[in-house]
Amino acid sequence: MTLWTSAEIAAATGGAASGVFSVTGVTFDSREVGPGDLFIALTGETTDGHRFLDQAFAQGAAGAIVSQHTAHPHVRVADTMAALEALAVASRRRSSARIIGVTGSVGKTSTKEALFAALDRAQPGAAHRSVKSYNNHTGVPLSLARMPATARYGVFEMGMNHAGELAHLTTLVRPHVAMITAIAPAHTAFFPDESGIADAKGEIFAGLEPGGTAIIPYDSPHRERLLAAARPHAAHIVTFGLDDGADVRAIEAMRTSLGATFVTARLGERELSFTMAQPGMHWVSNALGVLAAVDAVGGDLAMAGLALAELGGLQGRGARFTAPLPGGEALVIDESYNANPASMRATLAVLGADAATRKIAVLGEMRELGEGSAAYHAALADPIVQAGVSRAILVGAEMAALAEALEGRVQFVHVADAAAARTSLMTIVAPGDAVLIKGSNGVGLAALVASLHAGTL
């Protein structure tokens, strides 16, 4: 199905088309180009997409947006980044879809995927969402530019690590529903305190369409701050959470014998019972937010419940698999994509609830925590002990404070990097173990996960 014609691209960007062509997809990463795609040749400080035009067309690109001469089919513009944003604006303008914007310190990618699954379960093929963690100044407009004109729902993740970033992204997305999953210490190196993080996340409400809905975590200590940010822009405000005062709340949450959670949720006068496939109370909270958002766009709540029951863990964000070992296998919980204090505590609690006889935690340092980094790391000692961790492998220089706090409480080793963590894990992991692997993405623990997956530890 045609996504854009050359004439539409030229009209949206103010560029000049070299001829007639149509595209079925959009990308700015030459490695991702497939047949029929539009390749946008972005220029940056370290690279220039124009260098990869031949490669993109060899892989099947149907056209390109460029700011330099090329013999390939193209639309030429003055600034390719500005053209990407213009294409995003045009996509949003032509769409009649109900749009949901999602942000938060933790859980935004998982919640975005759960929302997509819930909406797609009811109307297969009618929902669109941003892929991967495309949530920044390039990822959000790309995700918008990829939205089919026929989509009935759009779910977009928006991230930030500085004040003012969401204020711009939300004007592109223009959501009918704006949701904050949670406020927690993340990117604290760039904010004076958590209140500053809450204010920056609250910028998402400024982009709400008239009549829009703000969805806010009731259990957050910053609830009142978020409510104040939403009131000038939202016609409706819905809270979700585990406490009794939330508009969408869990009145029952019981762990099943298979590790899932059976939940009964109340939405006003309505009740819905469903099984949350992913373990942990943080996932129960995410699911309540999903139900609130699905309800706000007029989606099917019963189908959303079924989708939550079928939802698998995402790679790097809770995916579970069994790793082959000599004489048996071990359970691996892959949380290698990112980490902050709140998500560390939540996933350690999930590990603690597992039935494995021995629990191993491979924990990479948490980055961008600023002056409070040592205290945040040291504070993980109690959650590690409470989870019943038998052995811990601490990775990275920032883990020194946690190593000191764990002394005499849990057996651990403190290593410099992911390669050393792999060597340490090889010497201790055994069949029947449960292994949690979690850390900031830059630590590189995904390579350790890949080794376990391939059975090459």
Which positions ≥6 away from 194 have C-beta within 8 Å?
183, 184, 185, 188, 221, 222
For residue 93, which of 226, 249, 209, 259 has the smallest C-alpha distance?
Answer: 209
- Neighbour tally for 386: CB within 10 Å: 12
132 belongs to an annotated ligand binding site: no
- Neighbour tally for 427: CB within 10 Å: 8
105 belongs to an annotated ligand binding site: yes
109 belongs to an annotated ligand binding site: yes
Tokens of 40: 């946008």
Question: How far, in whole angstroms, is CA 54 from its chain's centroid?
Answer: 33
Distance, CA of 292 to CA of 290 (rounded, Å): 5
Distance, CA of 340 to CA of 438 (rounded, Å): 10
Output 416-420 pairs: Cβ under 8 A, ≥24 positions apart.
Answer: 417/443, 417/444, 418/364, 418/443, 418/444, 418/445, 418/447, 418/448, 420/395
Distance, CA of 199 to CA of 286 (rounded, Å): 21
Percentages of the chain per state (helix, strand, coil), in multiples of 5: 40, 25, 35
Q: How far is CA 41 from CA 9, 44, 52, 63, 145, in A?
A: 14, 10, 8, 11, 15
Tell me the β-bridge partners of 273.
264
CB 367, CB 442: distance < 8 Å? yes
Cα distance from N-terminal residue to C-terminal residue, the chain = 44
Which positions ≥6 away from 263 have C-beta within 8 Å?
250, 252, 253, 273, 274, 275, 276, 284, 287
Using DSSP, state whether 351 is helix, strand or coil: helix
Distance, CA of 333 to CA of 335 (rounded, Å): 6
Tokens of 272: 């819905």
327 belongs to an annotated ligand binding site: no
Q: Which parts are annotated binding residues for ATP? A: 104-110
Q: Which parts are annotated binding residues? A: 104-110
